[in-house]
Chain A
Amino acid sequence: MPRYPFIVLLCWLVCWDCFTTGSGFSQSVAAEGSGPKVDFVSQVAPILREHCLRCHRPGNAKGDLSLATIQSLRENDFILDGDAANSHLLELITGSDDAPPQMPADGEPLSTGQVSIVRDWINQGSDWPDDFVVQHESKGGSDWWAFQPLRSLPTIDDDSNPTETIDQLIDESLKKQGLQRNPAADRKDLIRRATYDLIGLPPTVQEIQSFVNDPSPDAYAKLIDRLLASNHYGERWGRHWLDVVRFGESVGFERNNIIDNLWPFRDYVIRNINEDRPFDQLIREHLAGDVIDPDQPDTIIGSAFLVAGPYDNVNNQDAVQQAQIRANTLDEMIRATSEAFLGLTVGCARCHDHKFDPIKQQDYYAFFTSFAGMVHGTAPLASDEQQSKRAALIQPLEKQKREIEAKIAAQKQAVLERAEVNRDVYESRWTRPPVDRSGTTESFPAISAKFVRLICEAQDINPKSASGFRIDEFQIWSDEPKPRNVALASAGGKASGRARQIEDFPGAYGPQLTIDGETGARFMAVGSDLTIELGETTAINRVVFSSAMDEPDPGHNKFVFVADYRIETSLDGETWTEVANGDDRQPAQTANSPDGRVHREHRLAQLETTNDERAAIDDLQKQLGLINDSIRQIPTLPSAWVGTRSPELAKGPFHVFLGGSPQKPGDAVVPHSMHVFDHVANTNSHAQDFAYQLPADSAESQRRLELARWITNPANPLTPRVLANRVWQYHFGAGIVRTPSDFGYMGGQPSHPKLLDYLARQLQQHDWRLKPLHRMIMLSKTYQQSADYREAAASVDGQSQLLWRFPPRRLSAEEVRDTMLQVSGSWNRSIEPDIRVPDGGPGFRLYHYMQDNVSTYKPLDEHGRETYRRAVYHQNARASIVDLMTEFDQPDCAFSTPRRARTTTPLQALTMLNHQFTLDMSAALADRLKQESDQLDEQIQFAFQLCFGRSAESDEIQPCRDLILQHGLVAFCRTLFNTSELIYVQ
């Protein structure tokens, strides 16, 4: 029989994000020997699926074999129907005494029982039902809890009080474990908890006092309403959402350029959350704001969500790599979208069907079609009216500008034509060879010099410019029998000249490189001259300069050189004598102008232009300048980082990429809703218009809009569940589902499923507004209970997952910094009551931004007063480290961060103790204490009120007093900023 050995190809697995496979799932042994009729679907297919399909499937057919259908098995004689003994497949899966079976190559051999099943099946004729395809089955099916419609609660009346319902549902679960809720929290704790929770700031001393002393029964409800009405609410809850949508203000990857015009999206989030706009509408705007209201900048900006993530903007000339990079860019949008809104890891279905959830590769590429036209970048953010208004103002000016430019060009052309006539005369003066990048020599009668300079009048690639040239060595030779290069630094020379700068590597292109005696690195001029000061006054008679000495290919653009120049010397650095120039050289020849035409025309124009002509051109230039000024005075249209939409890229047809590779297109894909909900259409009354499918040539805008509508369709159970769970998580530290962006099989089961569905329905019933949800949660006894620890309860539920106590929490990085500003009076609502929210404009920076092709973010040692703003307005760049913020777990925004880490590290201690910001805040707080009182004990009490919201107890005062008397108030304030009590909420 023919042999088709498995050729183990070097298989470049293109699987970007996959799954971790474990050992196989054992199959139950069905039969031994030639038993009863084998059923392919229930007995054979599972074996192929578990043991073979990972390597042998469409798109990853190792050994050119796919086991998805019988075709490939038959074609290659792996199976001879009815003849197992001669079927190669059986040989491969059966071991001999001295050798294990060849297949499966990875993993455990098949059991004897499994081999028997395959043998019997072949012997019985290898019956494979028509059209049956062996596919991976995800672990979770469409019957997974998260895909089921929201349940209503039979035990709860529709008109029951939601707050009581929440308590009732929490108590139900507690009771099952024999637990009960803590009693109500102390009022001081409660106002501190609620204030941080809703606005991310500590309550003021007055606020605490008036709440604690308010006898009215609805004091607490009034507090919540006041906080919900505060503009600072949007700053706190907007920040949560910015974490979820991986909002970051640099592009990431190699260049990581900062983005200065994405802040309008930040403000959009803060503003809309403050206004409590329906969240389903916000989600639709995130995906298709530009489609929903193309004339409304405040709506368009929502769609910046799609381009708020990192992407690779290095221009790759390799087409295969470029296609992959583009696919990666869309992948980022798909992940961000599905995780933020649906709580699904659709990204895992990029290379193959999702291993754990019922998400098909087709579903992934349906998302792909929806975003295919999106391109990162800046676009005008203006209404049609604004745009046409501006166009009307600018068009006449543009017309005038073109006319003048044409006149100048005509004038220049006339000069050039005349010069061509006289060309021979001029050229006859150009007797010497052109400049040589490998070394240009100028000899002259000996002259005594202390300074020598090279003045560039035209560089060789663009003669209109007199800068940008490069010099690797500049030699100055002494007039003596054995000439010396007296320019060398080792001979006492010093070089100066304006050079391109790299901030964190000074001198990278500096003039010192021209006199170091080495080639390879070169001076890059930003000005038009290079000056060498000699160690001592010397008689010299020759200079040699170059930009590409020892280079095999001096013509490369990297070695821009001078074309027209003068060499001058001086004894005092003030009075200069010209000793040589290049005027009599032939025109410079360069790669872009090998015959020297560019330089020649430049020279001819210079030489031929009369004074009158020069004056006329100058006059036209002046007019042009005035027009340009007028154009500049017309305000530019607002623009923002909302991305552009490319009809070209959006054009189908689209295909599944087999194995995730754009080089391997598979089945065609059209925009459609996810298949997992197909069953919902039959069971849900809302569902008439739930599922959708669009034609392949539907408009790009339509595809995004339909997707947005589908995600927020009332019949979609995921979106309200995911959002309600996020709200719960931010109130209690952990969600009802603990993996807030993954409601799939690898994520969590809800700890309180009924409560989750109840909240999701409440959200829908309240028109997707968050504030009613906050209110019902925060008014519950569950929320208001104390954080007190009880050993007995903890032994049953150590993490308080069931909420027998309110879980205490540490402040977030933003809250820590905002608190320091607030407490010290450096940022103070009473001083600046009109603080604008959102504050508009680009954020402040706690790093120094440097760019030299790529970007570097260097944390600042001192934070100036301009940074005394709420941390939500910090311009968070990717892959940067910022003092305090990074240490306190502000995430890098490379990914969505649905739940922040909370670490305790010595680095936090070092920063909080030693960074200048702490010292500045300590000094400010000390001043504030002094203003409040000149009595030591009163100062201590006031400090305790500000920082902890309580008075100092009697035994606490003396140690504070001692420190202040010994080392001053500032030392005391520095201590307070490092206390745990300041940054923990009970």
Chain B
Amino acid sequence: MTFNFNQIDQTRRQMLGRVSTGLAGIGLLDLINAGRGIAGQSAPESVHHPAKAKRVLQIFCPGAASHMDLWEHKPMLDKMHGQPMPGEENLVSFQGKNGNLMRSPWPFVAGGNSGKAISSMLPHLSKHVDDIAFLHAMLSKTNTHGPGCVFMNTGHDSEGFPSAGSWVSHALGSENENLPAYVAIPDIRGEPPNGKANWSNGFLPAEHQAIMMSNQMPIRNLERPGSIGVGAERDTRALLDQMNQRFADRHPGQSELQARVAAYSLAAKMQLSAPEVSDLSTESAQTLAMYGADDSNRLKSAYARNCILARRLLERNVRYVNLYCASRASGVDGLLNWDAHKTLKADYERHCPVFDQPTAALLSDLKRSGLLEDTLVLWTTEFGRMPTHQQGTTGRDHNPDGFTCWMMGAGIKPGVSHGATDEFGRRAQSNPTTVWDFYATVLHLLGFDHQRLTWYHNGLDRRLTDVHGDVIHEILA
């Protein structure tokens, strides 16, 4: 971009470029300025280059899921278990002092044709390693959960910035005008650290916020109140439509009034579509079993049902689905999420079975149906954990200096591991990648140059990738 235009022009330019469509909303100012008529008729930002991915599924395991206990095998930890970590004998991290090196409580097992070893706690996911591109040398810039989650979701470690899903909604709009472009599916255990800031639209218009829904929690205010009958609703809507249309007709030059009429009709469509997408009764017994949707572990069955919901949303062309497995830091570390400070073994023996089978089933389903060809799957967490145990415990403290995320699906080279931490898992060593690189890659696959997808806010043209980011070409197919 260039800087030699004045702000008024720039603001106008932004508005002109940004008419969004679909049920998540219609930007009022967009409509006024664009003068392109009503939602659903005009394309949002045009892509910068041909896209590989049409939609994104982002799975998020909040609490800092340990890389060396799930994804990246560190045989040195077995060898040097109980010995001080060379060079960092007196390490003080987020919660305080660290003890000696601690091996992972479970063996790693090779899977697939590639023989990629991941934790034996993830036997179902092990079957997918040939399709995954692991990023083993991710970096965060904070060691605190809230800022970390927000950083992983927005590219900035303070609140108020738009999440990746909002940027994608802004860039691409919706393909299904009866459903939101961007859905966040929180876990039954609650919201992740920093809560709703993780799927916030930040300073992008409200239409780009994620709609919250899950199998346990329908979209708010979706249903007609029980006290209002079908006939009353129909006649109310008819009168309302008439009054609003009359008002719009009498006030030409205020396209937002037409937009409002359209918004009510879109809302009605959503009232029909959203319950349908949430209704799992049409799923076969076999499918339900594959996901573990009726498992006696209610955390697992709840997450499994959310996985099925995610698939159904993607099938209906929802642009961005943000699926959470676990929630916040409760009063007891590691109880509600992956934050295993004190008792790693017990904590992960609770979390892994919830996560493993349903997630693997979702991946299998996407692959079987062909949806994976143009769906990009991301697995993320806010940072990693230390190779040492925390002093006086059998858990691990926060480690922002190296952790694992992965991608799979549209445009991704299958079965590769890019980057590595050192022999203990302490620091990203070879081919480090940042959150900004991660999203530069995501946007690249969606057809966008991350440097050119911007929004003016309080003095700056803001980006999902801040002022950083390089596409990780090594994991592109």
Contact = CB atoms under 8 A, between A and B. Distances in A.
Given A789-B251, A902-B28, A914-B224, A19 B92 contact: no
Contacts of B231: 966-967
Interface string B183-222: 0000011110111110010110111000110000001111
Contacts of B266: 906, 909
Contacts of A368: none
Given A20-B451, A894-B158, A905 B221 contact: no
Given A321-B142, A558-B342, A910-B267, A746 B206 contact: no
A552 B454 CA distance: 51
A978 B146 CA distance: 38
Interface string A499-528: 010101100110000000001110010000
Given A895-B458, A910-B270, A316 B264 contact: no
Given A18-B467, A20-B461, A789-B252, A504 B394 contact: no
A317 interface: yes
A959 B242 contact: yes
B295 to A, nearest CB: 15
B289 interface: no
Contacts of B235: 962-963, 966-967, 971
Given A319-B92, A903-B206, A980-B257, A894 B467 contact: no
A231 interface: no
A748 B10 CA distance: 9
A884 B25 CA distance: 15
B8 interface: yes
B33 interface: yes
A314 B336 contact: no
A892 interface: yes
Contacts of B24: 905-907
B306 interface: no
Chain B: interface size category = 35 or more
B260 A318 contact: no
B336 to A, nearest CB: 7
A911 B459 contact: no
A932 to B, nearest CB: 21
A254 B160 contact: no
B194 A904 contact: no
A12 interface: yes
B306 to A, nearest CB: 16
A41 interface: no
A919 interface: yes
A977 B311 CA distance: 37
Nearest to A345: B459
B336 A508 contact: yes
A746 B335 contact: no
Contacts of B330: 502, 505, 508, 852-854
Interface stretch (A283-291, A405-413, A643-651, A874-882): A874-882
B236 A892 contact: no
Contacts of B160: 892, 894-895
Interface string B237-262: 00110111011100111101101110
B463 interface: yes
Contacts of A962: 235, 239
A520 B349 contact: yes
Interface stretch (A414-422, A692-700, A734-742): A734-742
A974 interface: yes
B273 to A, nearest CB: 11
Which among A14, A314, A524, A859 has the greatest number of chain B C-beta atoms within 10 A? A314
B28 A316 contact: no
Nearest to B257: A980
Given A551-B343, A789-B251, A967-B236, A558 B270 contact: no
Contact of A316 (B3, B94, B229): B94
A959 B239 contact: yes
Interface string A10-34: 1011110111111000000000000
B32 A799 contact: yes
Contacts of A967: 229, 231-232, 235-236
A635 B78 CA distance: 62
A87 to B, nearest CB: 30
Given A878-B159, A979-B244, A905 B458 contact: no
Interface in B1-58: 1-3, 6-8, 11, 23-29, 31-33, 35
A675 interface: no
Which among B92, B93, B346 has the greatest number of chain A C-beta atoms within 10 A? B346
A199 interface: no
B8 A748 contact: yes
Contact of B7 (A332, A749, A791): A749
Contacts of A552: 345, 394
B76 interface: no
B387 interface: no
A831 to B, nearest CB: 26
A519 B345 CA distance: 11
Contacts of A915: 221
B236 A504 contact: no
A345 B259 CA distance: 35
Given A318-B94, A520-B349, A975 B147 contact: no
A772 interface: no
A913 B394 contact: no
Which among A310, A319, A505 has the greatest number of chain B C-beta atoms within 10 A? A505
A310 B263 contact: no
Given A317-B94, A854-B329, A974-B236, A904 B26 contact: yes
B89 interface: no
Interface string A332-370: 100100010000010110000000100000000000000
A216 B196 CA distance: 54
Nearest to A21: B467
Contact of B393 (A139, A556, A880, A914): A556
B194 A520 contact: no
A896 interface: yes
Nearest to B137: A10
Nearest to A310: B159
Contacts of A887: 206
B259 A979 contact: no
B225 A254 contact: no
B272 to A, nearest CB: 12
A328 B151 CA distance: 14
B143 A910 contact: no
B305 interface: no
A255 interface: yes
A906 B267 contact: yes
Contacts of B300: none
B141 A978 contact: no
Contact of A500 (B35, B147, B224, B331): B331
B276 interface: no
Given A738-B8, A883-B221, A910-B221, A856 B195 contact: yes
Given A853-B330, A962-B239, 8 more contacts: A509-B332, A521-B350, A552-B394, A909-B264, A911-B221, A967-B231, A975-B240, A979-B247
Which 5 interchain pairs have the tightest Cβ spacing?
Answer: A254-B146, A894-B160, A345-B459, A789-B253, A905-B25
30 contacts: A139-B3, A252-B197, A254-B193, A328-B158, A508-B335, A551-B346, A552-B394, A553-B393, A749-B7, A798-B35, A808-B251, A853-B331, A854-B330, A856-B328, A878-B197, A880-B195, A894-B158, A894-B202, A903-B26, A910-B219, A910-B221, A914-B222, A963-B235, A966-B235, A975-B240, A978-B264, A980-B247, A980-B257, A980-B261, A984-B247
Interface of A: 10, 12-15, 17-22, 139, 252-256, 310, 312, 314, 316-319, 321, 324-325, 328, 332, 335, 339, 345, 347-348, 356, 500, 502, 504-505, 508-509, 519-521, 524, 550-553, 555-556, 558, 591, 738-739, 741-742, 744-749, 751, 789, 791, 794, 798-799, 801, 808, 810, 852-857, 859, 878-881, 883, 886-887, 889, 892, 894-896, 898, 901-911, 913-916, 919, 956, 959-960, 962-963, 966-968, 971-972, 974-975, 978-981, 984, 986
